[in-house]
Amino acid sequence: MDREEFAERTQRLKERLYRTAYLYLGNEADALEAVDEAVYLALRSLRKLREENFFETWLTRILLNECHRELRRRSRVSPSEILPESAGPDAYDHLPLKEAVERLPEPLRAVVILRYFTGYTQVETAAALEIPQGTVATRQRRALELLRLDLGEEGTR
């Protein structure tokens, strides 16, 4: 893959990458910075990409690593909770849902964000998180159970 094809494919993914970063980090500036850094790192290590068919999941994995790096940095810099900005993806702006998703354990939260708010399939989610597809299904099921309980909908199955 040459730089021109890299730029074209990255451009097509920019909205999906931003949405993923925003849902992880909770604010626009950090999300944009994470996407920029992930694209830069991907371009620098483009020759390490073995299968061009896996470009999207490879780039998403780099982005997730960058988001986790930023979250670790935040926890060292300020232990107080960082409040998210008000702008963001529509489906995630419903405050009780947003708070409930943020309270999920990280492995479950990652699956929910990728599956429901970013639009990844189970296969894509498994590839991006580097876990088996069955694990994605299990984590998804568990996360939905916890969200139902947290939002007070345990009796509405």
The model's pLDDT over 139-156, given as tens digits with 9 standing for 90+, comes to 999 998 888 888 875 444
d(CA 96, CA 111): 18
Q: Is the pTM of the predicted complex or chain greater than 0.85?
A: no
Q: Which domains does the chain have, with CATH numbers?
A: 1-87 (1.10.1740.10), 89-157 (1.10.10.10)
DSSP secondary structure letter of residue 52? G
Work out the average pLDDT over 32-48: 92
Dihedral Cα 32, 84, 57, 12, nearest 10 deg: -50
**Beta carbons within 10 angstroms of residue 112's beta carbon:** 21
